[in-house]
Amino acid sequence: MKNTILVVDDEPMNLDLAKTVLCSDGHEVIFAQNGEEAILALQNHSIDAILMDVMMPVMDGFEATRRIKADERFCDIPVVIVTAASDKNSLKTGLSAGANEFLTKPYDIEELKLRIRNMLKLKQKNDVLKNMVEKEVSKRMKLEAEREQQLAVLIQQTKMAELGTMMGVIAHQWMQPLTIISLNAQVFPEEVGGGEHEFEVAKKYSKEILEQTDFMTQTINDFRSFYKPSKKKAPFSVLEQAGSIVLLLSSQLSQSGVSVEMSGDDTLCCMGYANEFKQVVLNIINNAKDAFEEKGIKKRLVDILVESENGLIVVTISDNAGGIPLEVLPAIFEPFVSTKGERGTGIGLSLAKTIIEENMHGKISVQNIDDGARFTIKLPRYDESPR
């Protein structure tokens, strides 16, 4: 591969000589007749080294070198200054400007070739070293980001475990009073005096009390189940687990005016930790709910569909909450990226990606649709139904 040398000189004879010498050494040559033209040439061509005359109109070689070395795009390109002056002041000015080498007119042809070759070798080594440093910095930044993500996930998991312990205590404390209320409600109609009308009224109220206690008991069990850590992987129905989260959130969704429609095949099962999958669904639905409230959308719809496609389970969760901002969309699954500003942690979707792709060997993606966003989760299908 040929190297490209920029020769900057206002004397045609000098340009021709430099071209002859450098082309004979296997280089390509580009000309500029003053400092401004040199800077313009750098913007339009890939230059490997510069042979810079000093005395030129418009902009001299010292000023051109100073500007080139001050520009991050060009500062690594070696500059050989060619000057008729050999006094110390000229050398100091050139060094101060950032020149890498000097040649004194009239220069020796072989010396010119050697200096250019040396500069190109030095540049190649610097380029290799620069690439190594950039790769190492990028690697370390990636590792640091991964460590931060792991720490954030660990904190989140610790909070979930603490909530699980709290839910267990609350469930234990609440179950006994609920059991007593339920038993009293069952015997209440028999203990009420009066006629048949009074008995029927008591029976009606007893039924309502029992329905409420059953609902409270089920809600407590659902919360306890959700926050209880899964100890081993097991097959589960994807649609059923998604439905359990919708049921768990039913009160909040109702208060926020969010309607959730679910459809699909409830026999489609995958292998994994059911509670982790439910956490993914919970996060996506909660994000949609927050977006509805933030944007003041009146008709609030979330659609969950579970179907089979090419041997995979495909879960789509769509909403009409206005979509994800385009500037955030490409990085939405990266750690600490959030659409909620200070109200968001930026952990939820990053954790969702980890759960789906690393723990369940699936794939999660998102795209904006006409009036909202659509999350697509693809999971390996488990052939046997859970027992």
Q: What is the pLDDT of residues 136-186, one digit of tens each?
A: 888 888 888 777 767 666 656 665 555 655 566 566 667 777 777 777 777
Summarize the confidence of residues 54-80 as an average pLDDT: 90
| Residue with the larger pLDDT of the pair 207 and 310 | 310
In contact, 47 and 77? CB cutoff 8 Å: yes
In 3D, which of 233, 311, 236, 246 has the Cα closest to residue 266? 236
Confidence at residue 16, expressed as pLDDT on a 0 to 100 scale: 87
Least confident of 17-26, 169-178, 195-204, 305-314: 169-178
Specify the residue for token string 């072989």: 110
**Is the N-terminal amide bond of 106 cis, ω within 30° of 0?**
yes
DSSP 266: T
Summarize the confidence of residues 238-259 as an average pLDDT: 89
**pLDDT tens figures, 13-66:** 888 888 888 888 888 899 999 999 999 999 999 898 999 988 888 898 899 999
Specify the residue for token string 């795009």: 73
Confidence at residue 159, expressed as pLDDT on a 0 to 100 scale: 59
Confidence at residue 331, expressed as pLDDT on a 0 to 100 scale: 87
Confidence at residue 387, expressed as pLDDT on a 0 to 100 scale: 41
Confidence at residue 214, expressed as pLDDT on a 0 to 100 scale: 76
* pLDDT grade for 225, boundaries at 50, 70 and 90: low
Backbone torsions φ then ψ of 153, nearest 5 degrees: -65, -40
Q: pTM of the entire structure?
A: 0.50
| Residue with the larger pLDDT of the pair 128 and 221 | 128
Counted residue by residue, the chain has a size of 387
Q: Answer yes or no: is pLDDT of 348 > 50.
A: yes
Most confident listed range (70-84, 138-152, 222-236): 70-84
Domains of the chain: 4-107 (3.40.50.2300), 143-227 (1.10.287), 234-380 (3.30.565.10)
* pLDDT grade for 94, boundaries at 50, 70 and 90: confident
